């Protein structure tokens, strides 16, 4: 449906599947409104039917483990060339996925299709408050142009407060 003067609107019905628990699915309906000119992120409204699995235990474990690390957590090439992610890095990987979803949303148009390809680098930034902070450089794969785009993002997380991307910027592709 095209909304005059604003842009094309799409109505979607989809099924969300929990990546960690494949048999856990939830129905979702969404309305996506793209803005002409593509200078603002598309508007998204959605409703979810059903419940998402509770992850408090795993969240708290990761939170406590990371908070108590003496040296800041660092990592690179997640997953590695062969597709492997070490168990300790799994939550860092999942967090990047969620955060990249925000970056992708903010930069999507009707003609783009982004996926997170890899975490190039991640470094924890120690904070005095209760949040965990990670500085990521991720690689986004854009389907139509087939380009691999490096992107920096600063991610804040807390088990009860959720994920926040406080800063993000597209990086130049190095020669």
Contact range with another protein by CB under 8 A, out of 44-52, 54-62, 137-145, 157-165: 137-145
The 3-state DSSP class for residue 13 equals: strand
Using CB under 8 A as the binding rule, whether residue 144 contacts another protein is answered as yes
Of the candidate residues 13, 51, 56, 83, the single one contacting another protein (CB under 8 A): 83
Rank residues 67 and 161 by Cβ distance to another protein and give the closer one.
Answer: 67
Of the candidate residues 29, 106, 115, 167, the single one contacting another protein (CB under 8 A): 115
Rank residues 40 and 84 by Cβ distance to another protein and give the closer one.
Answer: 84
Which residue is it, tokens 């209760």?
A: 130
If binding means CB under 8 A, how many residues of this protein chain bind another protein?
24
Q: Which two structure tokens, joined as six digits, stand for 69?
A: 């690390």
Strand ranges across the sheet with 2-3: 2-3, 7-17, 25-33, 43-49
With contact defined as beta carbons under 8 Å apart, do 119 and 141 qualify?
A: no
The 3-state DSSP class for residue 39 equals: coil
Of the candidate residues 5, 11, 15, 19, the single one contacting another protein (CB under 8 A): 19
Using CB under 8 A as the binding rule, whether residue 84 contacts another protein is answered as yes
List of residues 6+ apart from 70 with CB closer than 8 A? none
Using CB under 8 A as the binding rule, whether residue 81 contacts another protein is answered as yes
Using CB under 8 A as the binding rule, whether residue 80 contacts another protein is answered as yes
What's 145's DSSP letter?
T
**What is the spatial distance between Cα 71 and Cα 64, in angstroms, rounded to a whole number?**
14
Rank residues 32 and 156 by Cβ distance to another protein and give the closer one.
Answer: 32
Residues that bind another protein (CB under 8 A): 19, 77, 79-86, 115-118, 139, 141, 143-148, 173, 175
């Amino acid at each position: 449906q095209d909304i005059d003067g604003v842009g094309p609107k799409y109505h979607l019905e989809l099924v969300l599947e929990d990546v960690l628990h494949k048999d856990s699915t939830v129905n979702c309906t969404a309305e996506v409104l793209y803005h002409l000119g593509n200078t603002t992120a598309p508007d998204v409204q959605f409703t979810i039917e059903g419940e998402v699995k509770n992850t408090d235990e795993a969240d708290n474990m990761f939170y406590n483990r990371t908070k108590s690390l003496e040296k800041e957590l660092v990592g690179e090439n997640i997953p590695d060339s062969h597709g492997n992610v070490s168990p300790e890095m799994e939550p860092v990987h999942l967090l990047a996925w969620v955060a990249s979803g925000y970056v992708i949303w903010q930069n999507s148009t009707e003609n783009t299709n982004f996926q997170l390809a890899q975490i190039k680098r991640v470094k924890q930034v120690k904070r005095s408050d209760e949040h965990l902070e990670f500085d990521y450089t991720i690689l986004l794969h854009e389907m139509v142009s087939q380009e691999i785009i490096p992107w920096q993002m600063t991610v804040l997380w807390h088990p009860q407060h959720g994920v926040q991307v406080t800063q993000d910027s597209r990086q130049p592709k190095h020669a």
